[in-house]
């Protein structure tokens, strides 16, 4: 079977979130099956990871509305037998056997954290995708529950495919940690946040909790600015050296930046999955995360869960991380073991099963 894949985000220069998900999932899908895969991109040459015998590169350069105009035209002109869309948006024209991944419904659950135009776009595109796709993948049971409850998607059409953690995320050597510490001028001890700088990540409460925890080391923020981020960035930049903003950190450096941290903090209001939490656990770094949305599914008993709406609860968690050595040791070991449960091979198996089932109907 020829399976088309919207790989446009997998080749973006600073692939994060959906882009990383796309890139990490394509290769194990191709290696796990005898199907052929045609990867559709918008003006990009094939990277090294895409040079497998059953991967075909299809560059479709187009200036605007690439998904709905150029990719749709390709689906009409030369359609594959099935199409896999690793992001929320299926093209207007697509094969009957189309499978789409919906990563989260944060724009509904926390609408105030998104600009009005972004909310409208996400709502229309996600509704279109889930209603016209033969099957839908969700990153977590929490996201599946949201799809069923908020968008009325029949449960039988949604499969939970937990993303995995790439092999690069493992405890870094002392030399690698020292190298990134020098490269980014990091302090000897620091807490770490990884993710887009935006309100849904609950950064305002995290900063307030950190300011109320004098025993905590500096908080280092790694991630690009998102929507509604200007005030957050101004607050961070005014609070140096207690707060440090690194901006985007390349994948080559991120495991060592994580490994050098005292703990990773993600008390987000809502996560469809929460990839930084899993990556930190795989690096042997203790995590503090929200006890809401998908994060308890990912963390299990291997992290410290807090109420994201309570500054005091977040601050209490920070104090425990900074003063309880036995807790830190437990979380390091428990996190390493927990991370082994999430693999891209397992995610690829669920995705392939959904695609094959869709094409059989």
CATH of the domain at 25: 3.40.50.2000
pLDDT over 80 (residue 113): no
Clarify whether residues 118 and 209 are in a common domain: no
Task: Read off the pLDDT of residues 53-97 as tens digits, 9 standing for 90 and up.
Answer: 999 999 999 999 999 999 999 999 999 999 999 988 999 999 999
The pLDDT, as a whole number, for residue 210 is 97
Q: Is 114 helix (H, G, I), strand (E, B) or coil?
A: coil
Clarify whether residues 211 and 273 are in a common domain: yes
- Specify the number of domains making up the chain: 2
Find the angle CA(201)-CA(207)-CA(209) to the nearest 5 degrees: 110
Clarify whether residues 157 and 20 are in a common domain: yes
Clarify whether residues 12 and 30 are in a common domain: yes
Residue 169 lies in a domain: no
| Helix H or strand E segment including 222 | strand 219-222
Clarify whether residues 205 and 226 are in a common domain: yes
Clarify whether residues 351 and 335 are in a common domain: no
Which pLDDT band, with edges at 50, 70 and 90, does 312 fall under? very high
Whether pTM exceeds 0.85: yes
| Distance between CA atoms of residues 283 and 275, nearest Å | 13
Half-sphere exposure of 212 (CA within 13 A, CB side): 15
| Distance between CA atoms of residues 179 and 240, nearest Å | 22
Higher pLDDT, 49 or 280: 280
Domain with 25 in it: 2-164+343-360
Which pLDDT band, with edges at 50, 70 and 90, does 14 fall under? low
Strands 98-102 and 135-138: parallel
| Distance between CA atoms of residues 82 and 93, nearest Å | 12
Clarify whether residues 111 and 246 are in a common domain: no
Average pLDDT for 3-18: 85
The answer to which of 16-20, 102-106, 118-122, 193-197 has the lowest mean pLDDT is 16-20
The pLDDT, as a whole number, for residue 39 is 97
Clarify whether residues 7 and 156 are in a common domain: yes
Clarify whether residues 102 and 208 are in a common domain: no
| Distance between CA atoms of residues 324 and 321, nearest Å | 6
Clarify whether residues 108 and 13 are in a common domain: yes
Clarify whether residues 125 and 254 are in a common domain: no
Clarify whether residues 347 and 249 are in a common domain: no
Q: Confirm if 186 and 294 have CB atoms less than 8 A apart.
A: no
Which pLDDT band, with edges at 50, 70 and 90, does 178 fall under? very high
| Percent of the chain clearing pLDDT 70 (strictly above) | 99
């Amino acid at each position: 079977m020829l399976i088309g894949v919207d790989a446009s985000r997998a080749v973006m220069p600073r692939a994060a979130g959906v882009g990383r998900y796309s890139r990490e999932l394509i290769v194990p899908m191709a290696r796990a099956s005898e199907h052929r895969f045609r990867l559709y991109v918008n003006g990009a040459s094939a990277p090294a990871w895409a040079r497998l015998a059953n991967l075909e590169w299809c560059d479709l350069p187009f200036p605007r509305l690439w998904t709905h105009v150029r990719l749709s035209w390709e689906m009409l002109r030369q359609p594959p037998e099935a199409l896999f869309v690793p992001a929320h948006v299926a093209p207007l024209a697509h094969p009957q056997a189309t499978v789409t991944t919906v990563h989260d419904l944060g724009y509904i659950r926390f609408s105030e954290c998104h600009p009005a135009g972004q909310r409208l776009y996400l709502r229309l595109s996600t509704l279109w995708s889930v209603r016209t796709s033969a099957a839908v993948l969700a990153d977590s049971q929490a996201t599946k529950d949201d799809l069923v409850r908020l968008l009325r998607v029949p449960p039988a059409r949604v499969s939970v495919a937990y993303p995995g953690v790439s092999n690069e995320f493992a405890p870094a050597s002392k030399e690698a940690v020292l190298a990134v510490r020098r490269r980014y001028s990091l302090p000897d001890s620091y807490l770490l946040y990884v993710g887009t700088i935006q309100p849904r990540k609950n950064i305002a409460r995290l900063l307030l909790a950190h300011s109320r925890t004098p025993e905590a080391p500096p908080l280092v923020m790694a991630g690009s600015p998102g929507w509604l981020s200007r005030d957050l960035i101004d607050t961070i930049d005014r609070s140096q050296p207690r707060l440090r903003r690194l901006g985007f950190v390349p994948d080559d450096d991120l495991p060592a930046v994580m490994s050098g941290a005292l703990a990773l903090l993600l008390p987000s209001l809502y996560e469809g999955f929460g990839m930084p939490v899993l990556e930190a656990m795989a690096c042997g770094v203790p995590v503090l995360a929200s006890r809401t949305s998908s994060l308890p599914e990912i963390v299990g008993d291997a992290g410290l869960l807090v109420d994201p709406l309570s500054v005091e609860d977040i601050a209490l968690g920070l104090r425990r991380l900074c003063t309880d050595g036995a807790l830190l040791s437990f979380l390091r070991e428990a996190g390493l073991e927990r991370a082994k449960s999430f693999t891209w091979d397992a995610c690829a198996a669920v995705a392939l099963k959904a695609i094959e089932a869709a094409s059989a109907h």
